[in-house]
A and B are shown apart, each in its own frame.
Chain A
Amino acid sequence: MSQATQQDAETGVIESVSGPVVTAQDLDARMNDVVYVGDEGLMGEVIEIEGNVTTIQVYEETSGVGPGEPVENTGEPLSVDLGPGILDAIYDGTQRPLDVLEDKMNSAFLDRGVDAPGIDLDKEWEFQPEVEAGDEVSAGDVVGIVEETVTIDHKVMVPPDYEGGEVVSVESGDHTVTETVVELDNGEEISMHQEWPVRTPRPAVEKQTPTKPLISGQRVLDGLFPIAKGGTAAIPGPFGSGKTVTQHQLAKWADADIVVYVGCGERGNEMTEVIEDFPELDDPKTGNPLMARTCLIANTSNMPVAARESCIYTGITIAEFFRDMGYDVALMADSTSRWAEAMREISSRLEEMPGEEGYPAYLSARLSQFYERAGYFENVNGTEGSVSVIGAVSPPGGDFSEPVTQNTLRIVKTFWALDADLAERRHFPSINWNESYSLYREQLDPWFEENVTEDWAEIRQWAIDVLDEEDELQEIVQLVGKDALPEDQQLTLEIARYLREGYLQQDAFHPTDTFCPPEKTYAILTAIKTYNDEAFDALDAGVPVEDLVSLDSTPQINRIGVQEDYEEYVEELKDDITEELRGMY
């Protein structure tokens, strides 16, 4: 977190302690100021002021803290450090780098009262100026570039709250992030380091309608329920239905420039998996390590609850910072339910009047404020950038009617419904194709038609129709059995089976199948469509359906996903299917 300046420090005294909520007396503070609590200096934030009594949520465990200990105000709101060094880092919920904490505490366990800046203040970066003396710059303008990682050029910008003016001096070469690299005629000094309060969105010129898809390499998502760059999506599902795997897949394969992954109140071992896996994986776009474009925020479920509330804001502020540079950023939040529960927990300690299911009445407002920070933006400096937000939701008992899911669905435009039944039969990703939706579909079709294939929308509609029909037929099959259906419907069921097994299912753990480019997604559909068209022709010609559903060639459809050179394979397969079917009449 940001090392807030401490000159206007005002000291108060602790009055009471109850878990993460502490009240203090005689503290001169504004709402949302950061304070240091107790003799150990635990970080906290002011969340309520009533007369002489200030209520503080503390971001660390409060065991042993007692009344009478001091509380020190920093006079600054909760802020993050922005500058080179964010990528490839792993933070806790208040932007303390976990690797630095391990060193400082000299322990594998998280100690208390240890603070660390979000970016290394001593490391030197090579600053390559883009402006020279005499140039006019205003807020948001890029003044230079730093190679932050092999993949990403970090753009040094004039902070958004600066007035701007004429450049009077430029310092190129190696500097630490706090040293001034560009000076303006009005005395403003620009360094590679900025601070920004996490609860305030960074300014932009305007929010535009997103028209480009965020390609995820997951067939069911790209093919049926796409999300736009700058779009919002929710993944609700009961435990064990594959939320986290889907989030990981998106973090690995989505074609964003930058990925911010927020592990909010989830499992420690899962975060460790990300920390161990990502450095070894290659970015499919550049071939560089995936970590070179990734920032991880890990606030596991046993870390303090107040920091869980803040980690979402820390994440989105970092995402906005890279958006300002003109990058497409994807933010995964796993899981927003834990964030909402953190709000509930603190709200109940404040003895606020509860709303639905004990959640605070401002739940819906907070959720929409958060998702509204996503979008495709024209930035202050004229570039375009986007923040896409994909939030996992963990509804209790898998019941989508609970407040967090419902309030989220009112805001997001893409809904990927995870289904425990599908997960039980190991249909992965277990995204229910009948319940999910994407409101971006029409607005993204032109892109797919231009960049992948002209009949993208058409063949997708065909697939959806077949799956819909299957859904209806299954109800009848449950009652009377498959053999009681007319022949053409039996054939439809078989085709739908291939859609499910060969198209919708995808093996996240198979080296090839884990990422499926849109071209391949399309190729698989064409293979199934070929079978569909030829088989119905054969049926019309009088071939009995038993023969049509037991071809030698069709099981190969389910193996297209694992083929690296799929083009040739699909062409051969289509020929085989056609030949086999035409040979029957």
Chain B
Amino acid sequence: MKEYETINEISGPLVYAEVDEPIGYDEIVEIETEDGRTLRGQVLESSDGLVAIQVFEGTSGIDLDASVRFLGETLKMPVTEDLLGRVMDGTGQPIDGGPEIVPESREDIIGAAINPYSREYPEEFIQTGVSAIDGMNTLVRGQKLPIFSASGLPHNELALQIARQASVPEEEEDGEDGSEFAVIFGAMGITQEEANEFMDDFERTGALERSVVFANLADDPAVERTVTPRLALTTAEYLAFEKDYHVLVILTDMTNYCEALREIGAAREEVPGRRGYPGYMYTDLATLYERAGRIEGREGSVTQLPILTMPGDDDTHPIPDLTGYITEGQIYVDRDLNSQGVQPPVNVLPSLSRLMDDGIGEGLTRGDHGDVADQMYAAYAEGEDLRDLVNIVGREALSDRDNKYLDFADDFETEFIDQGFDTNRELDDTLDIGWDLLSQLPKEELNRIDEELIKEYYDASEEVEATAD
């Protein structure tokens, strides 16, 4: 291992150094400054005689006399089951004052792609206890389902609620199948306050002991953020595929991650893509999101719940847009619902879970699940449309049928969606509330529900009402 004192340019987060031996792409670098600090970085570009180094901790304090050491290997994450319960900074160094981590193995943080042939299609339901998700946008093990939110909205509360309540049905039936639930929390550029909120909740609910936390805070160097999610996912893959855990990875906030990518791109004077983000952002995000999944013959699974805040509430912004094209659906947190006090303020209409259809139904959740969700979607969409009309002509001008749909839309929000951040609803309850709401509509309107199911549930709930009268 050779040491160089050959830095000839420092620009933003990048350092250029002259070398006289070949240096591998992505290799890890240590830079020692005059005042004795050691900074870590990664090779971004390697050409004969010159390398570009991206310094994780930022370049402040580095001068042309700083010494550069190439470690000859790419960045590795030391992994072990003992990581559960630990809190690390954004580069994977423990900050909780606990014992030193004795790794069982060291894994390359740039994970290899899962061979599509070796994957197992995700179709096992995760109950989150949130009706808007369980009922209408079901999450399954091995899925990547982002939360599309914006500044000032309670996405963190929703993420915490899911982290707290998430359970898999089989876990309840027999806890002895060896698969346990673990939560990995990767924070990128969140504020100290937000971080405290998460940590307090983890500690209060005892969730910390089944969690691993990686925290890159708002005042930590931005470049470090490009590493944090990869450390989190490498740990997740290890726990899932080597130790049979069902791992839920919460990544927040992906917007900060993308900002860091843009910063590096700009420092390297790359040709920018849309809105200045690098042209390879799709590929880069895919190498994170695609690390969710299940593998044939392994017990565990990696499920991802990335959170991103849409700049200007605009879902055509490159960050939510590219994310939406990679992930298997999205959950929208809605400003209007939030100001109405609906908790959690999930707007189900633009939300979607692509893996829902295969993860629900007879034998998985309940036979009527799909039809009920479809019908509620259609009815709520119709009610929403009518609200615009009401603003112009008033309720009296609408037909009886239209008024029923309007009532349905209102009740849907107040009874189905609004459950509070502390209520954990069983799926059966969620669907029963759904039937209750649907029974406000005339039977002929339920054109998406199988006739047999209407007989079983609609008529049943009508009878109950009749006796109650």
Contact = CB atoms under 8 A, between A and B. Distances in A.
> A and B from one assembly?
yes
Interface of A: 14-19, 23, 61-69, 90, 98-99, 101-102, 105, 107-112, 238-240, 263, 265, 267-273, 275-276, 298, 300-303, 305, 338, 341-342, 344-345, 348, 351, 354, 357-358, 394, 396-399, 420, 423-426, 477-483, 501, 509, 555, 558
A17 B295 CA distance: 32
B117 A275 contact: yes
Given A62-B25, A273-B358, A479 B392 contact: yes
A516 B210 CA distance: 50
Given A239-B324, A302-B290, A17 B47 contact: yes
B26 interface: yes
B95 interface: no
A347 to B, nearest CB: 8
Given A479-B392, A480-B393, A481-B397, A269 B121 contact: yes
B360 to A, nearest CB: 11
Contacts of A426: 374, 377-378, 381, 448
A308 to B, nearest CB: 8
Contacts of B270: 348
6 contacts: A66-B23, A67-B23, A99-B117, A108-B114, A269-B292, A302-B283
A18 B113 contact: no
Contacts of B349: 424-425
A482 B117 contact: no
A102, A275, A302, A344: residue with the most chain B Cβ atoms closer than 10 Å: A302
B22 A69 contact: yes
B280 A269 contact: no
A425 B48 contact: no
Contacts of B116: 90, 98, 263, 268, 271-272, 275, 298, 300
A102, A239, A268, A478: residue with the most chain B Cβ atoms closer than 10 Å: A268
B447 A64 contact: no
A108 B447 contact: no
Nearest to B74: A63
B290 A19 contact: no
B291 A302 contact: yes
A125 B120 CA distance: 31
B350 A424 contact: yes
B252 to A, nearest CB: 21
Contacts of A345: 279-280, 283
B113 A110 contact: yes
B271 A354 contact: yes
B115 A102 contact: yes
Contacts of A420: 350
B274 A396 contact: yes
Interface string B111-144: 1111111111110000000000000000000110
B316 interface: yes
Interface string B248-282: 00000000000000000000001111100001101
Interface stretch (B8-16, B78-86, B326-334, B461-469): B326-334
A321 B304 CA distance: 41
A300 B241 contact: no
B119, B316, B399, B447: residue with the most chain A Cβ atoms closer than 10 Å: B119
A558 B451 CA distance: 12
Given A65-B25, A67-B47, A109 B316 contact: no
A397 B291 CA distance: 24
Contacts of B298: 108
A478 B388 contact: yes
A397 B317 CA distance: 7
A397 B321 contact: yes
B318 interface: yes
A250 to B, nearest CB: 18
A358 B279 contact: yes
B117 A269 contact: no
A425 B379 CA distance: 8
Contacts of A267: 290, 326, 328
Contacts of A61: 110, 112
B92 to A, nearest CB: 18
B282 A338 contact: yes
Contacts of A270: 354
A239 B392 CA distance: 32
A424 B22 contact: no
B296 interface: yes
A16 B48 contact: yes
A109 B358 contact: no
B112 A394 contact: no
Interface string B40-81: 000011111000000000000000000000000110000000
B116, B119, B293, B389: residue with the most chain A Cβ atoms closer than 10 Å: B116
Given A425-B382, A426-B374, A273 B121 contact: yes
B114 A305 contact: no
B113 A300 contact: yes
Contacts of A398: 316
B143, B282, B315, B389: residue with the most chain A Cβ atoms closer than 10 Å: B282
B273 A109 contact: no
A426 B352 CA distance: 10
B287 interface: yes
Contact of A109 (B113, B315, B355, B392): B113
Interface string B301-330: 000000000000001111001101110111
Nearest to B291: A302
A481 B393 contact: yes
A102 B324 CA distance: 29
A69 B118 CA distance: 32
Interface in B128-171: 142-143
Nearest to B370: A509
B221 interface: no
Contact of A67 (B48, B290, B321): B48
B27 A358 contact: no
Query: Which are the 9 A-B pairs with shortest beta-carbon distances?
Result: A397-B316, A16-B47, A301-B286, A68-B22, A302-B290, A425-B381, A98-B117, A108-B118, A239-B324
Given A101-B117, A300-B286, 11 more contacts: A15-B47, A63-B24, A67-B48, A98-B117, A107-B115, A112-B112, A268-B113, A269-B355, A301-B326, A397-B316, A397-B321
A273 B122 CA distance: 9
Given A17-B46, A305-B280, A555-B444, A110 B115 contact: yes
A176 B138 CA distance: 49
B453 interface: no
B422 interface: no
A63, A394, A397: residue with the most chain B Cβ atoms closer than 10 Å: A63
Contacts of A344: 273, 279
A47 to B, nearest CB: 16
Contacts of B322: 396
A477 B21 CA distance: 74
Contacts of B44: 18
Contacts of B432: none
B102 interface: no
B357 interface: yes
B122 A269 contact: yes
Given A108-B295, A301-B290, A398-B316, A64 B27 contact: yes
A239 B115 CA distance: 24
Contacts of B392: 479-480
A105 B274 CA distance: 38
B199 interface: no
B398 interface: yes
